[in-house]
Structure 1
Amino acid sequence: MAGPENEPQPRVAHLVQVGDIIVTDVPRIDLESYISNYKGRTRTNRLLLIASTSTVLVVDALKLAIQEVKENKFDVQQYRHLTEELRALDSTQPEAVFDRHWADTVDKTNQQELIRLETELKGYKNNLIKESIRMGNEDLAKHLENTGELAQAYEVYAKMRSDVSSTKHIAEVGLHLARISIYRRDWSMAIANVNKISSLHVDAEDKSFGALCGILLGIGQLGQAKYKDATQSFLQVAATLDPTLYHEFASPNDIATYGGLLALATMTRPELDRFLDASPFRTFLELEPHLRRAITQFVNGRYSVCLTILESYRSDYLLDLYLQPHVHHLYSLIRAKCIRHFLQPFSCVTIDSMNAAFASPGASIEAELVEMIRHGGLQARIDSIEKLVTTANVKPRAKMQNASLTAARTYEKDAISRIRRIGIISADLEVKGKQRGHLGFDALDGSYGSSRFEPDKDDSASFADSLA
């Protein structure tokens, strides 16, 4: 679980602007095996997040991040920051020594490469060859992306749009922009770029296009806390897809975790039941059996077991790059749903029984129930003297009477409409209403063109009387 607020925070927290969350527990993940599931910039970003969050793995994460940056041989500024942070934490580590010769060499190489690419691009623009200009912009943007200049890389990628010549090129530009937006945590731009290309007809052979769009869209929606939309995006990812097609952003285990947690937080019990039995996403859930077990326990009404399973993995979820800012909120949504379902069959429940199901040993759930009632999350009342929780009285008699009156009014309206249609047909009349779609009145279903024929309230009774 997360540590207390007075726990000292690792100094590297400012490198990844996610939050002030500290994890003091020993995580279940093996760091080297975990990070081997990813490729590209996301490897460094995830290591930085772990270093800024976990007091147990901070040194190991920094060492691996330094090795990753040196292997890429591009981002010298990030290498300098990482060595400074590791030296402040443990100066005895060999990775904490700043390799000035390597940094100077890479800086010089990067500068020469930047000048070369800019010169080539200038020549392409003078020759007015659109395909060469597009490729020149792409090479320059990739170099800027590798060296950590994400804002400039985004601008250069955007310039490629004026020189694209095919639908595939449009899709590639959109994916570049969406990818950079994800790296910059600009969720709105990531969603906008994915939506622009999601309707394009790309070659059917490129299966990675649709899957990558769905994953990027889901990550962007998760970043904006649009949990229902993100759930649908992740559930549509094909489990048979090669993970190397999207491991630049997530692993199959991440897709299972995102989709499973979001489904548990947003879906109803019948939907979760179908989700477990018939959804193709259950193949992903096999990678995270504890999450499948938690959903099963919720569907079976064993809410305390469900919450216990989730709580045991909270610290691991807090080390996830995209999930961390939403773990507490998602857990609160799931917990509130469990409490509501626990109270649903009863009109009155003792607080002691709720404490046994939901509260930690020696604690009380009463304050949490008060907050839920105050914010409209629970329709109930608390008797602090008798220690009872009474659900709101729905008055079943009044509810049944209102439903009967509504059904009677609907039947009366339908009857008058049918009588009118019969009268019109028997009188061999034609009714002309507002012109929408095709001309003519269909006497069988009461429609005129594409519009629905509805009786006027003023003359319904009089017309029925005239027919009588």
Structure 2
Amino acid sequence: MADPLLNFFTLMENQVGVIVRGCLFADPGAGRTRFDRLFLIGRSSVPLCVDALKAAVAEAKRGKDTQRYREAVECLRIAAPSEPLATLDQAWLEAQEMANHMETTRLLTELKGYKNNLIKESIRMGNEDLGKHLESIGDLNAASETYAKMRPDVSTTKQLVDVGKHLVRVSIQRREWGMVSAHLSKLGAAHRGEEEKAVQSYLEVAQGIALLGQEKYKEAALSFLAVDSGVSGSSYNELASQSDVAVYGGLLALASMDRDELQTCVLDNTRFRALLEHAPHIRRAVAQFVAGRYSACIATLESYRPDYLLDLYLQKHVGNIYSQIRSKCITQYLIPFSCVSLDTMSKAFGGAEQPIEDLLADMIRSGALAARIDTIDKLVTTRSANPRAQMQDSVLQAAENYEKQALDRLRRMGLAAADLELKGSKKLGPHGFASQSDLLMEETLS
């Protein structure tokens, strides 16, 4: 029998190789996210550790952040001490640190001159150049403060949006999800005209990433699903690719929406449908869930789990998202049956990380599933609702409400017959009008 660990690593290498090749040949203008993805793969994937870290070292040397270069080299030294890139290039480090210091001094001097001349546009551009430089060398705290100083000097909506983008990008790198939402809320109205859709798509992607970081899965799904597929991915490529947006939107929708919402918001969403072409397996998984093929949906998602475990934003949430999707599938699967064997449930929904018995027990304990587990006969028995009891409860509740309303009307009629004044305003209904009982009483008195 083949070694399951070897099979897992082989599957991981085949699946994750696509991610590494995508990072290696990504657009260099994508920003610091490219290094982050490579470094994450290097620290998380055993079969691709060396290749990813070598690419991360090369990417760091193309930039100005010396601290990132040190971290990448240190990780590569631990993983593969014999690699030539595992040794620090002291000459490059010293030269780059000197160049960074000189550039910082030059930009600060220019900005001071602009402030002395009191030219708002020059001050804004000086702060922007300094902020970009500080961000490129890894001083994110100073970069965020510098970008924030641009706000008093902006004069157009485009400049306001640019400031917001800078602050959002830095906050995402610092994983300050609350600050991302705060900066997005300050942007207000976006560009009007041709650039409006591009700006709106950028805001939706950034908001979705922030909500995902805060584990607000449904709100994040709605943000990703609102991204316009007609907008070029280059408008938000520094945050995520079009394939990433499709994966995030589809996965989070599966974890947080019911069948009708999935059909309406995902499959029938004309704006998002084109993005799903970049992730056909997500569209297939959503369609399988809507069609009631729950075990096929789980199998499709499990085959791509290694990819998501190496994703920059999904990695920490994969277990929780998959658990919610599996729980939904199990709940929907059991609705037509009164009794299902544990072997059948294990074949359909069992996972390596948690046996089906433990998963069902957790769902029952949390109240997500109304069922019982028969460990002797290996059966799962669902608790079917009693329609007679539900009808009786609803009738009793309606009778109690009617009795209460009748007593209120009689009491008011008695007060009116005794010539007692009723002080206070009439109780208003949910839409700001007098309640039906008050109107009926007035008709009776008249």
* Structures share fold, TM-score greater than 0.5: yes
Verify: 1:370 aligned to 2:357, yes or no.
no
Q: Is the 8 A contact 1:161 1:173 kept in 2?
A: yes
Q: 1:142-187: per-residue Cα shift (whole Å, max 9, x none)?
A: 1100001011101111111222223322222111111100011111
> Alignment partner for residue 26 of structure 1, among 5, 10, 13?
13
Distance 1:92 1:383, change over 3 A: closer
> Alignment partner for residue 91 of structure 2, among 84, 96, 101?
101
1:256 paired residue number: 246
Aligned partner of residue 25 in structure 1, secondary structure: helix
Shift of 1:81: 2.3
C-alpha distance in 2 between matches for 1:269 and 1:121? 56
Larger mean CA deviation between 236-245 and 376-385 belongs to: 376-385
TM-score (norm 2): 0.85
Shift of 1:348: 2.8
Shift of 1:399: 1.4
C-alpha distance in 2 between matches for 1:383 and 1:241? 54
2:415 paired residue number: none
Distance 1:447 1:294, change over 3 A: closer
> Alignment partner for residue 274 of structure 2, among 257, 279, 283?
283
C-alpha distance in 1 between matches for 2:262 and 2:280? 15
Shift of 1:223: 0.6
C-alpha distance in 2 between matches for 1:57 and 1:196? 41
Shift of 1:335: 0.4
Kindly indicate which of the two structures has a greater share of residues assigned to helix. Answer: 2
C-alpha distance in 1 between matches for 2:106 and 2:362? 62
Shift of 1:277: 4.0
1:452 paired residue number: 433
C-alpha distance in 2 between matches for 1:161 and 1:333? 42
C-alpha distance in 2 between matches for 1:296 and 1:310? 12
1:124 paired residue number: 114
2:77 paired residue number: 87
Q: 1:244-265: per-residue Cα shift (whole Å, max 9, x none)?
A: 1111111111011101101111
Residue type at the aligned position of 2:93: A
C-alpha distance in 1 between matches for 2:201 and 2:38? 25
TM-score (norm 1): 0.82
Q: 1:318-377: per-residue Cα shift (whole Å, max 9, x none)?
A: 01000111000000000000111111122333323322322269x952222111111222
* 1:293-312 matched pairs, under 5 angstroms: 293-312=284-303
> Alignment partner for residue 147 of structure 2, among 157, 160, 180?
157
2:191 paired residue number: 202
Share of identical aligned residues, percent? 48
C-alpha distance in 2 between matches for 1:23 and 1:211? 37
Q: Where does the alignment leave 5 or more consecutive residues of structure 2 unmatched?
A: 407-422
Residue type at the aligned position of 2:368: G
* 1:413-432 matched pairs, under 5 angstroms: none
C-alpha distance in 1 between matches for 2:234 and 2:65? 24
Distance 1:413 1:237, change over 3 A: farther
Shift of 1:463: 5.3
* 1:181-196 matched pairs, under 5 angstroms: 181-196=171-186
Shift of 1:192: 1.1
C-alpha distance in 2 between matches for 1:159 and 1:327? 38
Aligned partner of residue 381 in structure 2, secondary structure: strand
Q: Is the 8 A contact 1:37 1:247 kept in 2?
A: no
> Alignment partner for residue 168 of structure 1, among 158, 177, 180?
158
C-alpha distance in 2 between matches for 1:394 and 1:170? 56
Q: Is the 8 A contact 1:23 1:318 kept in 2?
A: no
